[in-house]
């Protein structure tokens, strides 16, 4: 019985080792095909659309980074702690959906989706700045919290995304109508 278990394990191990080149070749083919598709996709876009695509990606990356910093005292040694907003899920999901919907899919409802979610995101950012305990953090002493530069860059990128999105949609309408 032990011999059959060892034989089965040996056979499985040999099959696994022999499968590695095939798996690597398959992943190489999938990666090559995906990168060629992205390259062709990128070359078909107009310059304004490329800028919009990069800004949406940048907004997505910034939404996942910590926006706030505060100092904590542990046994006479200060420690800096970085935290994200309480509503981080909202900022990440809106940024993620905007990136994928607008980056890879063009439809009339996607425009409505983009403008409504981007306006909502901007309103919550402003409201959160004015009343941070509601959307950003639940700490007793607000004076200990410092805004990281990531927060300000995210706010700026979100506003620029809104403007570039408007210009991109206008340019698309000109191209398709004219």
Tell me the pLDDT tens digit for each residue of 49-70. 888 889 999 999 999 998 888 8
Question: Same domain for 125 and 155?
Answer: yes
Residues 55/164, Cβ–Cβ less than 8 Å:
yes
Instruction: Give tens-digit pLDDT for 27-44.
Output: 999 999 989 988 888 888
User: Which tens digits make up the pLDDT trace of 121-173?
Assistant: 999 988 988 888 777 787 756 777 888 899 999 999 999 999 998 888 888 77
Domains held by the chain: number: 2
pTM, two decimals, is 0.75
Q: Please give the pLDDT value at position 163.
A: 92
The pLDDT score that the predictor gives to residue 159 is: 93
Q: Are residues 17 and 87 in the same domain?
A: no
| b/e burial code for range 13-43 (CB count within 10 A of at least 16 → b) | eeeeeeeeeeeeeeeeeeeeeeeeeeeeeee
- Residues 34 and 108 placed together within one structural domain of the fold: no
Task: Find the domain containing 1 and state its range.
Answer: 1-44
28 and 112 in a single domain? The answer is no
Please indicate, yes or no, whether residues 93 and 162 belong to a single structural domain of this protein: yes
**CA separation for the pair 128, 137 (Å, rounded):** 9
| Pair 160, 122 in one domain | yes
Residues 73 and 114 in one domain: yes
Q: Are residues 83 and 159 in the same domain?
A: yes
Same domain, 55 and 36: no
* Residue pointed to by tokens 């996607």: 110
- What does the longest C-alpha to C-alpha distance in the chain come to? 78
Do 61 and 33 sit in the same domain of this protein?
no
* pLDDT above 80 for 99: yes
Instruction: State whether 97 and 28 are in the same domain.
Output: no
């Amino acid at each position: 019985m032990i011999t059959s278990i060892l034989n089965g394990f040996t056979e499985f191990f040999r099959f696994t080792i022999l499968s590695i080149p095939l798996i690597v070749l398959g992943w190489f083919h999938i990666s090559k095909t995906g990168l060629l598709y992205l390259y062709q996709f990128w070359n078909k876009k107009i310059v304004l659309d490329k800028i919009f695509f990069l800004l949406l990606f940048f907004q997505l990356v910034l939404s996942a980074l910590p926006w706030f910093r505060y100092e904590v005292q542990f046994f006479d040694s200060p420690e800096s702690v970085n935290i994200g907003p309480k509503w981080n899920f909202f900022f990440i999901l809106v940024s993620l959906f905007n990136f994928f919907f607008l980056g890879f899919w063009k439809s009339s409802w996607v425009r409505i989706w983009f403008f409504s979610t981007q306006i909502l995101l901007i309103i919550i950012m402003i409201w959160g700045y004015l009343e941070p305990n509601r959307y950003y953090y639940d700490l007793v002493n607000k004076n200990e919290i410092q805004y990281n530069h990531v927060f300000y860059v995210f706010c700026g990128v979100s506003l620029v995304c809104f403007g570039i999105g408007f210009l991109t949609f206008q340019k698309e309408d000109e191209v398709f109508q004219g």
